[in-house]
């Protein structure tokens, strides 16, 4: 980042943790634009994430995530960015995220994730049998990665949007990033 002030804000965390819902509201509050890496990828590919996974495989989707991050790093300032839940798993992506802006991990429990995602058919990583086992496996693998990548961790389970947004803005002000 060229300047510490007026940074991008990047939201990371597991599927269903509220990155998009929080991000849209935070952007409105700050009068920043809002972007979502999943939406950018779908637009670029001209099909859904499910279709990308089916037609080209997960590795191809992960390449697209890195391309999008590189584009964001060069072209976006003062923007709120929601990211796909698996994006920080790749080391290169974690380095890019840190360069892009203030990274916030919205931490949610397995129970919250399960409640929000049961019946969801839009996420290829969770399709098929035994949602509970899949969520367990992915959460265990990713939790330390989210923690390591984040500048700020917010326990989001029992917080309102208003509280989450205030926590982000307060921290950024305190750290001279706003
Ligand atoms: C994924 C999360 C999804 C999307 C894709 C893969 C993952 O994003 O990028 O289905 O591996 O966790 P959300 O976290 O916005 O659901």
Q: What is the pLDDT of residue 82?
A: 98
Sort strands 152-155 and 8-12 into parallel, antiparallel or unpaired.
Answer: unpaired
Q: What is the pLDDT of residue 115?
A: 94
Q: For residue 21, what are the CA distances in angstroms to 27, 29, 71, 90?
A: 10, 13, 23, 24
The pLDDT of residue 2 is above 60? no
Q: Is the CB of 123 inside a 6 Å radius of any atom of ligand 1?
A: yes
Q: How far is the CA of 123 from the centre of ligand 1 (A)?
A: 6
The phi, psi pair for 28, rounded to 5°, reads -60, -45
Structure tokens, 108? 């949610």
Q: How far is the CA of 92 from the centre of ligand 1 (A)?
A: 17
The pLDDT of residue 3 is above 70? no
Percent of the chain with pLDDT over 70: 98
Q: What does the pLDDT look like over 114-168, one tens digit per residue?
A: 999 988 999 999 998 899 999 999 999 999 999 999 999 999 999 999 999 999 9
* 105 half-sphere exposure, CB direction, 13 A CA radius: 22
Structure tokens, 90? 């790749």
The pLDDT of residue 19 is above 70? yes
CA 166, 8, 32, 72 torsion-angle sign = negative
- Put residue 168 in one of left, alpha, beta given phi > 0 → left and psi -120 to 50 → alpha: alpha
Q: How far is the CA of 176 from the centre of ligand 1 (A)?
A: 31
Q: How far apart are CA 40 and CA 59, in angstroms?
A: 17
| Residue 119 or 58, more confident | 58
The predicted model scores a pTM of 0.97
Q: Is the CB of 86 inside a 6 Å radius of any atom of ligand 1?
A: yes
Structure tokens, 74? 């060069």
Sheet holding 152-155, edge to edge: 34-36, 80-82, 8-12, 101-107, 152-155
């Amino acid at each position: 980042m060229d300047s510490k002030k007026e940074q991008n804000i990047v939201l990371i965390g597991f599927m269903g943790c509220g990155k998009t819902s929080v991000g849209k509201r935070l952007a409105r509050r700050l009068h920043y634009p809002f972007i979502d890496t999943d939406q950018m990828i779908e637009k670029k590919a001209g099909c859904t994430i499910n279709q990308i996974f089916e037609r080209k495989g997960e590795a191809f989707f992960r390449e697209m995530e890195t391309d999008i991050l590189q584009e964001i790093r060069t072209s976006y300032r003062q923007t709120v960015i929601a990211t796909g839940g698996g994006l920080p798993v790749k080391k290169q992506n974690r380095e890019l995220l840190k360069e892009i802006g203030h990274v916030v991990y919205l931490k949610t429990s397995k129970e919250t994730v399960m409640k929000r995602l049961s019946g969801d058919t839009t996420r290829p990583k969770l399709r098929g049998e035994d949602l509970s086992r899949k969520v367990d496996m992915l959460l265990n693998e990713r939790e330390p990665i989210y923690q390591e990548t984040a500048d700020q961790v917010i326990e989001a389970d029992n917080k309102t949007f208003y509280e989450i947004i205030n926590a982000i803005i307060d921290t950024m002000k305190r750290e001279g990033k706003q």
